[in-house]
Amino acid sequence: MSHAHPELPSPPPLPEGALRVVALGGLGEIGRNMTVFEYAGRLLIVDCGVLFPEESQPGVDLILPDFSYIEDRLADIEAIVLTHGHEDHIGALPFLLRQRPDIPLYGSRLTLAFAEAKLRESRIKPVTHVVTEGERLTVGPFDLEFLAVNHSIPDALAVAIRTPAGLVLHTGDFKMDQLPLDGRVTDLNGFARLGDEGVDLFLVDSTNAEVPGFIPSEREIAPVLDKVFDRARGRVIVASFASHVHRIQQIIDAAAEHGRKVAFVGRSMVRNMGVARDLGYLTVPAGVVVSVDDLADLPDDKVVLVCTGSQGEPMAVLSRIANNDHQIKAGPDDTIVLASSLIPGNENAVNRVINGLTRSGAAVVHKGNALVHVSGHCSAGELLYAYNIVKPRNVMPVHGEWRHLRANAALAERTGVPRDRIVLAEDGVVVDLQDGVAKIVGAVPVGYVFVDGASVGDITEAALTDRRVLGNEGFISIFAAVDITGGTVVAGPEIEARGFHEDPEVLKPVRDEVRAELERALSDGVVDAHQLQQRVRRVVGRWVSQTHRRRPMIIPVVVEA
């Protein structure tokens, strides 16, 4: 297997007749999926998504792919192909299209509708082209064919990319539900047909490669939801991804069956369900969906709320309900359903939400205690099936953390793909397909681009480190004024602390040490304010470490009187 490592050189110029593949996100992580294909000087992008921050990234709203690899080549981009409408595949579009709004977008009807609604909020009117499964078209030097795949959102597509360098099949996110709610199964016949033609490079969803067997059908959730609704004494509050149309369809069906009204809560939930309903992807019986304002006139046992926040996002509706920071209050008669998977890294946040809701007395139903979620990604049995029908010459696992990528690579090898034809890469690693062989040829710089409010890319890892220190250890500020000529401290030191200790008197003992250190430095001829501040920082840091075993942020200010 080919392994990426940080000492890889810059890639050489792309050889004539070769295809270059560079993932700017989605490899070694679950999120911010974005892959750049290059042939004959032209670029094709597949997906442009975001990654959601972890607890170790305080204050960050979103994490984007690093566009620096393509920023000087925006004019070379032929199109962006969107495999489906999840945030980790379309969420970064506004940030890329701000740089060139006329990049054509290709995707299914629902995918483009979700993308257009998102871009409208950023005042961007995109150039869109609706495609359907079975359609084949040419974009620059790229011959594209779209195939239906089943996922946890309607209208998902795989894409086959043909160039003179070979045939690439990118699965997007997919599974093999044989009884999907919309009857739209993964086009295994199309996969086999492409396999017979000869797939030179197979980019395969890795998310569930560690999970044995086959993923249950979405339909298996319906009986569980029926029992939940049957037992609920008061309101049913369901948290789901705002794009999981199939899951929300089942919730609406269960609500209608039990004589309940449904209200959507949360901006993205209201927006997406409105789009899905208008386009016919969501079927709503007359009178079942009402506005939140109408719920006040209904008894609790006739109410269903569908909201965001299944991943413990701090500002999402369910998290605010759990924190008692929302107009909707959870109570002992309520039943809360978390109808989604747990994205790695969100475990603590989700557990806090569950605990907060349980504290209120509500019954909390989640994946750990009931079948209220099935995954949208192939497990090992389905992946083996895919490898056996596609028979790829080269394989590149995508969409997953390192453990998922390696597990997927092992599955490919078990089906007969030679070890040296399995490319294990991470973000920024450059892979060339030439003469039927895919291999790593170098790497380009990529990093996390943090969105913090209106700031994009201004937050650095150093700033996040400071935030973590502030959040965990607090800070101490010291102010002193000195007379350089007289060599004395004429004011202070005044010491203040936040998030360090509740008793301000605890810092009294270090004041004399700071004064003594400043006087010693002045007598040694130190007159530079920065050097004086460094001496103060060392004194306070040493005292805090020895006395309290803490490492707060220390901010000394020394001015000349």
Question: What mean pLDDT do residues 104-110 have?
Answer: 97
Q: What average pLDDT score do residues 373-385 get? A: 93
Q: What is the pLDDT of residue 397?
A: 97
When mean pLDDT is compared across 50-54, 196-200, 515-519, the lowest value belongs to 50-54
What is the 3-class SS of 48-100, one letter each residue? CCCECCCCCCCCCCEEECCHHHCHHHHHHEEEEECCCCCHHHHCCHHHHHCCC
Task: Report if residue 10 sits inside a domain.
Answer: no
Q: Are strands 475-483 and 553-560 parallel, antiparallel or unpaired?
A: parallel
Largest CA distance in the chain: 89
Contacts 24+ apart (CB under 8 A), 124-127: 124/94, 124/97, 124/98, 125/101, 126/93, 126/97, 126/101, 127/101, 127/102, 127/103
25 and 122 housed in the same domain: yes
Q: Which helix (H) or strand (E) holds 168?
A: strand 166-170
Are residue 416 and residue 518 in the same domain, yes or no? no
Distance CA 533, CA 481 (A): 11
Whether residue 169 lies inside any domain: the answer is: yes
Q: What is the pLDDT of residue 504?
A: 63
Examine the fold and report which residue of 365, 383, 412 is the final residue of a domain before the chain moves on.
365
Average pLDDT value for residue range 38-42: 97
Prediction pTM value? 0.81
Residue 68 included in any domain: yes
Q: Are residues 194 and 50 located together in one domain of the fold?
A: yes
Q: Is residue 61 part of a domain?
A: yes
Number of structural domains in the chain: 3
Q: pLDDT of 217-228, one tens digit each?
A: 999 989 999 999
Of residues 495 and 464, more confidence is placed in: 495
- How do residues 508-552 score in pLDDT, each as one tens digit? 777 778 788 787 787 777 777 788 888 888 888 887 777 777 777
Domain identity same for 192 and 95: yes
For residues 171 and 551, the model is more confident at 171
User: Taking all residues of the chain, what is their mean pLDDT, rounded to a whole number?
Assistant: 87
- Which amino acid does the sequence have at 345? G
- The predicted model gives 37-61 an average pLDDT of 82
Distances in Å between the Cα of 30 and the Cα atoms of 138, 315, 383, 520 are 30, 21, 18, 55
**What CA–CA distance (Å, rounded) separates 145 from 21?**
18
Q: Is the pLDDT of residue 122 over 50?
A: yes
Is residue 11 a part of any domain in this protein? no
Identify the pLDDT of residue 469.
56
> What pLDDT is recorded for position 454?
58
Mean pLDDT for the stretch of residues 282-308: 89
**pLDDT for residue 420:** 95
List all residues 6 or more positions away from 174 whose beta carbon is below 8 Å from its beta carbon: 149, 150, 151, 156, 158, 186, 205, 377, 378
Residues 144 and 254 in one domain: no
Q: Which residues make Cβ contacts (< 8 Å) with residue 165, sequence separation at least 6?
A: 17, 18, 19, 39, 200, 433, 434
Is 34 found in the same domain as 140? yes
| Structural domain ending residue among the three candidates 425, 456, 487 | 456
Lowest mean per-residue pLDDT among 8-12, 460-464, 545-549 = 460-464
The pLDDT score that the predictor gives to residue 468 is 56
21/65 Cα distance (integer angstroms): 15
Within this chain, do residues 174 and 232 fall inside the same structural domain, yes or no?
Answer: no
- Domain of residue 425 covers 19-213+375-456
Say if residue 4's pLDDT is above 50.
no
169: pLDDT strictly greater than 90: yes
Per mean pLDDT, which range of 7-11, 482-486, 532-536 is the poorest? Answer: 482-486
- Are residues 433 and 511 both part of a single domain? no
Distance CA 190, CA 165 (A): 21
Q: What is the pLDDT of residue 503?
A: 63
Residues 149, 77 within the same domain:
yes
Q: Which residues contact 80 (CB under 8 A, 6 or more apart)?
A: 45, 46, 47, 48, 93, 96, 103, 104, 105, 106
Q: Tell me, what's the pLDDT at 558? A: 81
Label residue 501 by pLDDT band (50, 70, 90): low
**Does the residue 412 lie in any domain?**
yes
Residues 139, 28 share a domain: yes
pLDDT at 343: 64
Query: Quick one: average pLDDT of 339-352?
Result: 69
Residue 160 has pLDDT above 80, yes or no: yes
**Residue 82 predicted with pLDDT over 50:** yes
The mean pLDDT of 105-124, rounded to a whole number, is 95
CATH code, domain with 438: 3.60.15.10
- Among the three residues 403, 426, 456, which one is the final residue of a domain in this structure? 456
- Look up the CATH number of the domain holding residue 483: 3.10.20.580
- 68 and 160 fall within a common domain: yes
Phi-psi region of 4 (alpha: psi -120 to 50; beta: other; left: phi over 0): beta
Confidence check: pLDDT of 2 > 50: no
To which H or E segment does residue 148 belong?
Answer: strand 142-148
Give percent of the chain above pLDDT 90: 54
Does residue 547 lie within any of the structural domains?
Answer: yes
**For position 1, what pLDDT does the model report?**
43
State the alpha helices, DSSP H only, in 232-373: 245-257, 267-278, 317-322, 347-359
The DSSP line for 337-377 is EE-S---TT-HHHHHHHHHHHHHTT-EEE-TTTS-----SS
Residues 425 and 392: their CA atoms lie apart, in Å, by 17
CATH of the domain at 231: 3.40.50.10710
Q: What is the pLDDT of residue 363?
A: 86
Report yes or no on 423 lying in a domain: yes
Mean pLDDT of 303-311: 82
CA atoms within 13 A on the CB side of 3: 5
Contact 367, 341 (CB under 8 A): yes
237 closest CA partner among 113, 149, 322, 153: 322
Same domain, 45 and 115: yes
Lowest mean pLDDT among 25-39, 214-228, 328-342: 328-342
Task: List the Cα angle 48/314/351 in 5-degree steps.
Answer: 105
Higher pLDDT, 114 or 558: 114
Segment among 6-15, 297-306, 308-317 with least mean pLDDT: 308-317
